[in-house]
Amino acid sequence: MAKLRTIKGTHDILPWDIYKWQRVEKVLKEVFDAYTCKEVRTPVFEQTSLFARGVGEFSDIVSKEMYTFQDKGGDNLTLRPELTASVARSFIQHNYQQASPLHKLWYFGPLFRQERPQAGRQRQFHQYGIEFLGSTFPEADAEVIEIAAEIYTKLGLKNWELHINSIGSVEARKIYMEVLKKELKDHKAELCETCQARYDGNILRLFDCKNSACGDIMRDHAPSILDHLSDEDTLHFEELKALLTASGIDFFVDHTLVRGLDYYTRTTFEIKGTALGAQDALCGGGRYDDLISDLDGPQTPAVGFAAGVERLIMAMDAESLFDEDQSFVDLYIAPMDIHCLKGISPIVHNLRKKAFRVHMELMRRSVKAMMRDANRQKARWVAVIGEQELESGNIKLKNMKKNEQIECKILDIETIING
């Protein structure tokens, strides 16, 4: 019989790697708190129509990557491939706008896309993200981008760069798409099959094609969308750039950055990991002023981003940003024999109550084997306790880093290991 394994493109996050995730999550929470964002949690599956309508039928996500199924009641459901549409659904369903005109939200969770797995590309992956719902102004875009950048800065990541663009509001983009169609008309037959379908379906998707022939045609013949923005769109983009500059955030303007989801209006941006391989997008986002109204909610301007956690951890590993020597055990208690377990129990309990991380032997091993284990676990301190120690109230505490032993009273353990 075949061995039971994880499904292709999905991974266990192993107990010896989890500290990396916890480090990232701690910093995320600090940054989100500093910007007074509130967390929102939505279900991992939703009605399929939410994503079909929200993300767009010509996007790769909806056309080829969704895990869609019918449940026993015959409902058509999809494992969420992204979270922006879910947040918009939640906003509409619970009338967020009645509670406040502006919501600054963050999320963290698993997503599912049936893509071809490769380094940095999985079928179940995790994103953290931000959605600001309610503001039309460029300072909201700037703050969202600032949060994305602040996270990398705070984690110490160096090899990344920010790319920004504006794809204008719907009206301006409609005009641009007509211009694009005209410019590319004579080259339609040279495009790949997918792009020929995109030419009629959503011509902007042509910018996403990885085919080199399509890339050449776009480079040689596609006009810049930035030359076709309305005055308001241009002003919005200029103000955003000025705000980013004022915050000391470097960026590149890339007029081909249209992003692969259909809901964007005006600002689009991506942060690329410059030391990552083919899957170099660490984070992507932009403004989506029409998504909520397209899903039958009130007209609500919004802007946000989402970032891949696995890719971030890969990028941090590449820059050796995790402390491999980190200790997870403050005190390792090694009982000399099982008769003293009852005497040790209140000591352990008291320390754990005070939030010390205390490991208590559960394998009845020899003192030598326990010392080896304490080393493996990178315990900061070890106390070997037997009947005699319990009777006298005096023990020997070993500082594992300094390889030094000190004698102290059981009552003083707390003060000593705290230092």
Residues that bind ligand HAM (CB under 6 A): 82-84, 113, 115, 121-122, 125, 127, 129, 131, 261, 281-286, 288, 304-308, 310-311
Token output for 281: 């997008």
Q: Which is nearer to ligand HAM, 286 or 335 (CB)?
A: 286
| Least gap, CB of 308 to ligand HAM (angstroms) | 3
Residues in the chain: 419
Q: Please state the closest distance from residue 305 (CB atom) to ligand HAM, in A.
A: 5
Torsion 335-337-338-342 (CA) sign = negative
Contacts of 150 (CB under 8 A, 6+ apart): 31, 34
- Nearer Cβ to ligand HAM (306/344): 306
Residue (272 or 398) nearer to ligand HAM, CB: 272
The distance of closest approach from Cβ of residue 228 to ligand HAM in the complex, given in angstroms and rounded to an integer, is 22
DSSP E strand stretches across 277-322:
281-287, 302-308
Q: Which of 272, 261, 289 is nearest to 111 (CA)?
A: 261
Which CB atom, from 308 or from 335, has the smaller least distance to ligand HAM?
308
186 Cα distance to chain centroid:
42
Burial-class residue 115 by CB neighbours within 10 Å (0-12, 13-18, 19+): middle
Q: Report how far apart, in Å, the C-alpha atoms of 158 and of each of 5, 29, 372, 375 are.
A: 36, 20, 37, 33
Q: Give whichever of 179 and 281 is closer to ligand HAM, judged by the CB atom.
A: 281
Q: Which is nearer to ligand HAM, 198 or 272 (CB)?
A: 272
Shorter beta-carbon distance to ligand HAM: residue 89 or 311 = 311
Q: To the nearest whole angstrom, how small is the minimum distance from the Cβ of residue 355 to ligand HAM? A: 34
We find the least distance from the C-beta atom of residue 259 to ligand HAM, in angstroms, to be: 7
Could you tell me the two tokens for 320?
Answer: 């050796």
Q: Which residue has the tokens 């969202």?
A: 144
Residue 354: burial class (beta carbons within 10 Å; 0-12, 13-18, 19+): exposed
Nearest to ligand HAM of 307, 358 (CB atom): 307
Residue nearer to ligand HAM on the CB measure, 122 or 194? 122
SS3 80: coil
Whole-number Å distance between alpha carbons of 348 and 341: 10
- Tokens of residue 45, six digits: 């599956």
Residue closest to ligand HAM, measured at CB = 308
Tell me the closest approach of the beta carbon of residue 25 to ligand HAM, in angstroms. Answer: 16
A 10 A CB-CB count for 55 gives: 24
Closest approach, Cβ 266 to ligand HAM, in A, equals 12
Query: Kindly report the CA angle at 100 between 95 and 101, in degrees rounded to 5?
Result: 95
What is the rounded distance in angstroms from the CA atom of residue 286 to the CA atom of residue 277? 23
Looking up tokens 């007509």 gives 178
How far apart are CB 341 and ligand HAM at their closest, in Å? 47
Q: Which is nearer to ligand HAM, 121 or 365 (CB)?
A: 121
| Rounded Cα gap, residues 388 and 396, in angstroms | 11
Q: How far is the CB of 273 from ligand HAM (least distance, A)?
A: 9
Handedness of CA 99, 100, 102, 107 (dihedral sign): negative
The distance of closest approach from Cβ of residue 38 to ligand HAM in the complex, given in angstroms and rounded to an integer, is: 16
